Amino acid sequence: MRNLALLWSAIAVLAMGACGEQAPEQALPTPADTVDMALAEYDPAAFDTITWETPEEAVVRGSVVFSVSCRKCHGAQGYGDGGFVAAGDTLRPPSFHGPDWRFREDHAGLTRQIFIGTTEGMPHWGLTALSLRDIDAVAQFIQLQFAAN
């Protein structure tokens, strides 16, 4: 939780600067720092308690999460062609369809990746925006909708 406090502190510093207040000088976290923070907070056992009444319930929820949080980078069909631009560069995430996609049959690995993000532009969704339940749902959706095809 200490790393989460550091992240929120950095956000507060940015907000103060945007409001014209004098913010204390503090280094902002780098992408590597935020991945390290998320990795420190990640607990795979937390996903063991997530249950769904039916597999369809998870997939329906996952499709909503994908549409809101993932589609802009990964593309509507999961080919990595969303065209999202960050820091002047168009992100090129991997396609979920290839037989060599590393999370094709690794649900735990995919939930971990969604939680911690990457230094190449994928947000650390587990620290900032998605609940564990949403992470599990979108991982199930991706694996059933895209990787299975």
Q: Which residue has the higher pLDDT, 8 or 109?
A: 109
Is the domain of 61 the same as that of 122? yes
In a domain, 58, yes or no: yes
Count: domains in the chain: 2
Q: Which of 103, 91, 112 is nearest to 146 (CA)?
A: 103
pLDDT for 149 equals: 63
pTM score, whole prediction: 0.79
CATH assignment of the domain containing 129:
1.10.760.10
The residue range of the domain holding 3 is: 1-29
Closest CA to 70 of 82, 58, 59, 60: 82
Residues 10 and 72 both lie in one domain: no
C-alpha to C-alpha distance for 32 and 121, rounded to whole angstroms: 10
User: Please, which pLDDT band fits residue 19 given cuts at 50, 70 and 90?
Assistant: low
**pLDDT tens profile 93-112:** 999 998 889 999 999 999 99
Flag whether 19 is in a domain. yes
